[in-house]
Structure 1
């Protein structure tokens, strides 16, 4: 093929310098594999982690709803005024004046065809894990856990009683 000849012969072009072209093609393919495969695997792992995060947030929203309202805590057999614990966030640590320790978190339950928020109370009278017990308390009801009475007043319960509560 000379400069004055305007015809293109693909067979002549492929056979001339084909060793260099195949070597260049192999180097480009190897570099593409070394760069693209890790990027593709990284994108796949990132996508799977994002799906896992979204599934976890969905579970958290469905099974650990945000708390609202307040809890009245008092000894089960009277003797002192009830202590008011405001419920905010997804869980609240309990350290009532009557002693002991525990944790309260929200729960959604289907009751009477309606989805209602109740609270799950895990409490130990002496703060140890060995004596801990748990109960679920619906709005407006009272449960006794470890000798301590808990009354849950949800967001629809209105204002808290003012007598002797802190």
Structure 2
């Protein structure tokens, strides 16, 4: 978990640099490493880590907006990204409740906030990457006969990995 957080943080510092939004993304890297490890181990994304990430992420990105060119527009895009991704996950959870856990739904809004900050292309890339990474992992499990078609996997790590990939490509 510690190594994952350090590597994610180092990649973000390398890609983002010393911009005002680095603190927000550094927070996401740290809490994301813990959330990913917990989801792998326990198959849950605990509310004490997920829910505070909404106001903390919004506050850090809001503070960065004041010192960023087009920061106001980016912050509005972040709020839209939050709402749309959260809405998509809620819809999927309502229609196919066994396909996602409620923790995944709660995490989706946080990740949508950050992806929205980076813009539409990053948001789209990140969302697609989440499902591609999770799908490839699931197919690999089936091919290797380590799981059957109806098996469930912890999806939070793939959500976080997809978001990291989008940040690395679009920051």
Q: Name the TM-score class by shorter chain.
A: under 0.3
TM-score scaled by length of structure 1? 0.20
Normalized per residue, the structure richer in strand is 1
Normalized per residue, the structure richer in helix is 2
Q: Which has the larger radius of gyration?
A: 1
